[in-house]
Amino acid sequence: MKNIGIITQARMTSTRLPGKIFREAHGRPLLSYHIERLQKTGLDLAIATTLNSTDDCVSDFAAQNNLKVHRGSEENVLSRFYETATKHHFGLIVRVTSDCPLIDPHLIRNSIEKYLKINNENLYMSNAIERTFARGFDFEIFSFKLLEEAFLKAVDKADQEHVTPYIWKNTSGNTEFYHIKQDTDHSSLRITVDTPEDYELIKILIEKYQADKLDYHSIEELLIGHPELTSINADIEQKKV
């Protein structure tokens, strides 16, 4: 399973906070923080965006920063991911989403190393199913084989819209699981960006606490030590898959 690639999905038409990926902190778009942290993994990286004219700016951002990009269906994100992986010959895929500007590169890299040691194309590895990390550090790792199987066989709209449910629901019966966990449950913490309140928190974390330079553990400890920060978006409910 060579050619490991991170695919991040990015679009401008978020329902709760349109244009969120280009909201700024310290004069920089959140998308640039997301990409910068992912690049620290040392892995190949591609942005999967849509064909909509509203996402021309995403494609332009990729071009300006010499990033791989693929444009595909807005609704069938599974097809967009499959096309991206095929176009760039990714044999092992790390799926992330661009609403996680503080995603942790070392956590991803360490998990990739575990995945490679296991060496099983039917393995699905993630820290987002049995959640112990703050929401905003989410990633999934799976082979092109599993992605292609989902692309060819998934017919439910929800499976196509959210990319991996066909895999993690084990619809095929072939999926094997490895859940990345930490000893302390910090799953109540939220550093993803989906609402104005989320953006307010991320902006403070970056501008006041330089969280873009911190690892996941330091960010979680920072939030635990400052309940006034966690209260900013404590009432936000995550959208259901």
Give mean pLDDT, residues 221-237: 93
* pLDDT of 126 higher than 70: yes
Give mean pLDDT, residues 175-199: 97
Across the chain, mean pLDDT equals 95
pLDDT tens-digit series, residues 95-125: 999 999 999 999 999 999 999 999 999 999 9
* 15 Cβ contact partners less than 8 Å away, ≥ 6 residues apart: none
The pLDDT of residue 208 is 98
Cα three-residue angle 113-117-120, rounded to 5 degrees: 115
pLDDT tens-digit series, residues 24-71: 999 999 999 999 999 999 999 999 999 999 999 999 999 999 999 999
The pLDDT of residue 238 is 63
Strand partners for 46:
7, 68
**Which class would CATH give 4-230?**
alpha beta
Region of 129 please: left (phi>0), alpha (psi -120 to 50) or beta: alpha
Domain ranges in the chain are 4-230
The model carries a pTM of: 0.95
* 149 Cβ contact partners less than 8 Å away, ≥ 6 residues apart: 166, 167, 172, 174
* pLDDT of 240 higher than 70: no
What tokens does 48 get?
Answer: 């999967």
Calpha distance 37→239 (Å, rounded): 25
Instruction: Using a pLDDT cut of 70, give the percent of the chain over it.
Output: 98
Cα three-residue angle 92-213-70, rounded to 5 degrees: 35
